[in-house]
Structure 1
Amino acid sequence: MSQKLNLGWLGAVALGVALSASAQEKPADFATHVPLSVSGEGPWYRLELPLSVQLNARQTDLSDVRVFNAAGEAQAYALAREAASTRENRTLTDVKWFPLYTSADATERAPGIRVQSSANGTLVEVQPSSQLEAGEEVLRGWLLDASAIKAPLQQLILDWTSERDGFQRFTIEASDDLQHWQSWGEGQVARLTFADERVEQHEVGLPGQSARYLRLLWNSPQLAPTLTSAQLQSASPRSLPLPLVWSQPLAGSSVKAGEYTWQLPMGLNVERVQVELSQPNSLAPVTLSGRRESSLPWQPLTSGLLYRLTQSGQDVVQNELQLSGQTVQQLKLVVDERGGGLGAEAPTLKFAVRSTQLVFLARGAGPYTLALGSATVRAANLPLSTLIPDYSAAKWAALGKASVEGAAVVSNSSTVTAAASADTDWKKFGLWGVLLLSVLFLAAMAFSLLRKPPVKP
């Protein structure tokens, strides 16, 4: 038994020495250095990585991000970000809806209602607060009962019937008691006939908050449709992704009519894109494709209808496409030009990725520096629960804050690459030497143990 323990201990020591040899990283190994300022109570500090800084990384998963103290010592750190796949856990629920009526001369005010509900808050009946005569009733909007949904609401999906096609615009309000209402912005759905095809938009994004009831009030009550279906998509708090961060406008190119391409600074997990629609009355059914590099075939990502139309003196704009977070470095937009196209010049494009937060444990004296930009280093981040013992939401909220100070300092890339390559070669030779000596030592020990005569009882 003691012989097995000795061998296991020696193997652990050899592995520890090897890992230590591979972890001697220096600020000079990285192409970009960003000074950090810290505030609040440490020793843990949380930094929201600006997208402009992230784009200096050489590895898509940010494995080449480090924090160093004034002595050039690497700090223990963790990366906090939600993967796009968490959205697969969302739940789609059919909800009941109730019409909201008001008098013809009171369409500017929210309709008053009387409700009857069950013991758990589920609505049974909704009626106007005052009796309306026949012919005075005007459909103002709809009340949705979300009381059975306990998770934050992410998306509203509607279906409806209407005498004519077009856009349906309405305000969205939320309440837990049907008395106090909070604005959740505006919604817009559409049903259009285009080139002998029907184009429909049923989904409306919600802010990811919980509410028992939603009130939809149409901007033009005379155009309020009759709902035939209402669904709400929800997600539990633990699966909510971090907020989106948007890039600066990115110029594209066009090699033929109706086809535009953009080159991203690096491979990124893109969640949304926003296409500039510079000309009023633009209407464009589009298909968006992406790929990691030029040698790979294009893969379809999504399709949709982009438009900028003038109605009643106001622009109605839909210029975003939602993706599922695939890693891409090139994007291609193909436009059905029967809608008039988007012009000969490629429009600018913005892309959005999930915000990434870095938490580091401050060891040694500051100032601290964020370093990134190496194609050779390996990931060194810890799980958040390992970096912060007894990690909890309260501890997260109490962490000190770190922020980027000034502009990033970019080293000479060729010098850094050569230095990193030479340093990597030295580390590689050292690592192989340590491993070889450890194996020889273990083999010698095992051989000596095998040559010993067995102990007589």
Structure 2
Amino acid sequence: MSQKLNPVWLLLGMAMSVGAQEKPADFAAQVLLAVSGSGPWYRLELPLNVQLQARQTDLSDLRVFNAAGEPQAYALARESAQTRDDGRLNDVKWFPLYNSADATERAPSVRVQSSANGTLVEVQPSSQLEAGEEVLRGWLLDASAIKAPLQQLILDWTSERDGFQRFSIEASDDLQHWQAWGEGQVARLTFSDERIEQHEVALPGRSARYLRLLWDSSSFAPILTSAQLKSSDPRNLPLPLVWSQALAGSTTKAGEYTWQLPMGLNVERVQVELKQPNSLAPVTLAGRRESSLPWQTLSSGLLYRLTQNGQDVVQNELQLYGQPVQQLKLTVDERGGGLGEQAPSVKYAVRATQVIFLARGEGPFSLALGNPTVKIANLPLSTLIPDFTPAKLAALGKATVQGAAVATPTAPATATVAEQTNWKKFGLWAVLLLSVVFLGAMAFSLLRKPPAKS
């Protein structure tokens, strides 16, 4: 009676056989892993400096080994900007927050009327303000209809003059207790007959029923004409961005700077160092995979570091769409003063990569990278973990990198064998040369021998 093989174990066996002949010494770099929590599956957030040890852009040369040097079944959790769900855009209601011009408290006191489900109907000052006394200090946004974490705030406004709008962001579920969510900044600027606008503000990815935006006492809030909140399903939240160390660049002509990345990467953000205060630079960022390919425009925008009211207002990031690039070029419109003769350093950000492996055998476990010839060996998550769900992924044991990646040493035996092989080659060549000389001597002696008399 034949027994049917479980397809999951069959695929696991096939994956193990792919790397059955591979050993840690076949890879250029290794790093030790420490595991904690309940196994047998462990999840590792791969640091960018370790990922850069790979020789294949898609991480096909990544492997996990146990203490005996046996490969472990593993999967990669990766995503790109092209495939990621960027969330849903929600229009929300907004209500003005007034205060008296000489009020000492920052947050205006208000009376609120809401419906049974928490939706705001009316927001009024707690005390009646006379004409000329009221000052617009901020806005209250009603996000009660949004049941998902909030990722981004998008505003539009009117004001008497262009410039920056800076405000604090607070969140609440009951309109009584407020939690700080940091600061926001939007801008509307005119430069060389061009209008440059920044409408988006990043939010921390948490849920809240209400948001409060407050301008400080030295500036009045503008009139809002639109307010939107982008939310994401908790099951589809993107992996976090991981940032590189500062990367030095070079310049070949005024207003043009280039940088070489360690390998092809799906870059989603670039941060440009702005050393000098009061720098203003309209820029265009281009990229390519290699020097033989033409440059492709990736992003454009206005970079600035300006001092206002004793504080630096900085916008030094450009957003990309995750295209794989290995070279970057920044072209600066020098009518804004430029960024100097020396190329500024940049940092780049990519989406985090998670490695999930099934621990088999004894630890310590290690991760190896750096082999341009090996084939892909990772499994789909649904194969590695039966009945996989995002909740299961969050509950897995945790693996962390211990120390920096270490280069795999060359085995002394290999050098000895190479030396022996070289001596054998030299010996064979010597024998051949001696044979040629011997044959030449014999031929010469035969030619010099007098002919026999008849």
Determine if the alignment matches structure 1 residue 346 to structure 2 residue 343.
yes
Determine if the alignment matches structure 1 residue 369 to structure 2 residue 358.
no
Tell me which amino acid in the other structure corresponds to 1:345: Q
Aligned to 1:29: 26
Residues 1:125 and 1:331: Cα distance change in structure 2 (over 3 Å):
same
Aligned to 1:168: 165
Aligned to 2:269: 272
Contact 2:153 2:203 in 1 (8 A): yes
Q: Distance in 2 between matches of 1:55 and 1:254?
A: 24
Aligned to 1:111: 108
1:220-259 aligned within 5 A: 220=217, 222-259=219-256
Q: How many Å apart are 1:28 and its aligned residue?
A: 2.0
Residues 1:185 and 1:414: Cα distance change in structure 2 (over 3 Å):
farther
Determine if the alignment matches structure 1 residue 102 to structure 2 residue 65.
no
Q: How many Å apart are 1:86 and its aligned residue?
A: 4.3
Aligned to 2:379: 382
Q: Distance in 1 between matches of 2:228 and 2:334?
A: 33
Poorly superposed stretches of 4+, deviation over 4 Å = 16-19, 86-89, 412-415
Determine if the alignment matches structure 1 residue 135 to structure 2 residue 136.
no
Aligned to 1:148: 145
Residues 1:35 and 1:18: Cα distance change in structure 2 (over 3 Å):
closer
Contact 1:82 1:240 in 2 (8 A): no
Aligned to 1:58: 55
Residues 1:86 and 1:214: Cα distance change in structure 2 (over 3 Å):
farther
Of residues 371-380 and 281-290 in structure 1, the stretch that sits farther from structure 2 once superposed is 371-380
Determine if the alignment matches structure 1 residue 208 to structure 2 residue 219.
no
Tell me which amino acid in the other structure corresponds to 2:276: Q
Determine if the alignment matches structure 1 residue 305 to structure 2 residue 331.
no
Determine if the alignment matches structure 1 residue 286 to structure 2 residue 271.
no
Q: Which has the larger radius of gyration?
A: 2
Q: How many Å apart are 1:17 and its aligned residue?
A: 8.7
Secondary structure of the equivalent of 2:377?
coil
CA distances 1:362-406 after superposition (whole Å, capped 9, x unpaired): 111112111011112222112223222233445333322222122
Of residues 224-233 and 213-222 in structure 1, the stretch that sits farther from structure 2 once superposed is 213-222
Tell me which amino acid in the other structure corresponds to 1:71: A
1:297-336 aligned within 5 A: 297-336=294-333
Contact 1:259 1:332 in 2 (8 A): yes
Aligned to 1:453: none
Selected match of 1:126 from 118, 123, 126: 123
Secondary structure of the equivalent of 2:392?
helix
Contact 1:308 1:318 in 2 (8 A): yes
Residues 1:254 and 1:18: Cα distance change in structure 2 (over 3 Å):
closer
- How many residue pairs match? The answer is 404
Determine if the alignment matches structure 1 residue 68 to structure 2 residue 78.
no
Contact 1:274 1:350 in 2 (8 A): yes
Residues 1:179 and 1:29: Cα distance change in structure 2 (over 3 Å):
same
Secondary structure of the equivalent of 2:49?
helix
Contact 2:137 2:220 in 1 (8 A): no
Contact 1:271 1:351 in 2 (8 A): yes
Secondary structure of the equivalent of 2:102?
coil
Identity of aligned residues (%): 81
Contact 1:142 1:217 in 2 (8 A): yes
CA RMSD of superposed structures (Å): 2.4
Contact 2:97 2:125 in 1 (8 A): yes
Secondary structure of the equivalent of 1:238?
helix
Q: Distance in 2 between matches of 1:413 and 1:61?
A: 26
Q: Distance in 1 between matches of 2:140 and 2:14?
A: 66
Contact 2:169 2:184 in 1 (8 A): yes
Tell me which amino acid in the other structure corresponds to 2:74: Y
Residues 1:17 and 1:101: Cα distance change in structure 2 (over 3 Å):
closer
Of residues 230-239 and 290-299 in structure 1, the stretch that sits farther from structure 2 once superposed is 230-239
Q: How many Å apart are 1:346 and its aligned residue?
A: 0.4
Aligned to 2:43: 46
Considering fraction of residues, name the structure with more helix. 1
Of residues 119-128 and 314-323 in structure 1, the stretch that sits farther from structure 2 once superposed is 119-128
CA distances 1:341-378 after superposition (whole Å, capped 9, x unpaired): 00011000000111112111111111211101111222
Determine if the alignment matches structure 1 residue 295 to structure 2 residue 275.
no
Contact 2:16 2:71 in 1 (8 A): no
Secondary structure of the equivalent of 2:394?
helix
Q: Distance in 1 between matches of 2:15 and 2:266?
A: 33
Q: Distance in 2 between matches of 1:23 and 1:136?
A: 79
Q: How many Å apart are 1:222 and its aligned residue?
A: 3.6
Secondary structure of the equivalent of 2:404?
coil
Contact 2:30 2:368 in 1 (8 A): yes
Q: Distance in 2 between matches of 1:86 and 1:106?
A: 50
Secondary structure of the equivalent of 1:391?
coil
What TM-score does the superposition give when structure 2 sets the normalisation length?
0.84
Q: Distance in 1 between matches of 2:319 and 2:104?
A: 34
Q: Distance in 1 between matches of 2:401 and 2:390?
A: 24
Of residues 294-303 and 391-400 in structure 1, the stretch that sits farther from structure 2 once superposed is 391-400
Contact 2:15 2:378 in 1 (8 A): no
Residues 1:107 and 1:297: Cα distance change in structure 2 (over 3 Å):
farther
| Runs of 5+ consecutive residues of structure 2 not aligned to the other structure | 3-9, 416-454
Q: Distance in 2 between matches of 1:70 and 1:375?
A: 24
Secondary structure of the equivalent of 2:376?
coil
Residues 1:17 and 1:325: Cα distance change in structure 2 (over 3 Å):
closer
Contact 1:86 1:239 in 2 (8 A): no
Contact 1:271 1:323 in 2 (8 A): yes
Q: Distance in 1 between matches of 2:248 and 2:410?
A: 25
Secondary structure of the equivalent of 1:179?
coil
CA distances 1:35-79 after superposition (whole Å, capped 9, x unpaired): 122222222222111111000001112111111111111001111
CA distances 1:177-212 after superposition (whole Å, capped 9, x unpaired): 211211111001111121222221111111122222
| Runs of 5+ consecutive residues of structure 1 not aligned to the other structure | 6-12, 419-457
Contact 2:63 2:369 in 1 (8 A): yes
Q: Distance in 1 between matches of 2:18 and 2:59?
A: 22
1:410-421 aligned within 5 A: 410-411=407-408
Contact 1:107 1:140 in 2 (8 A): no
What TM-score does the superposition give when structure 1 sets the normalisation length?
0.83
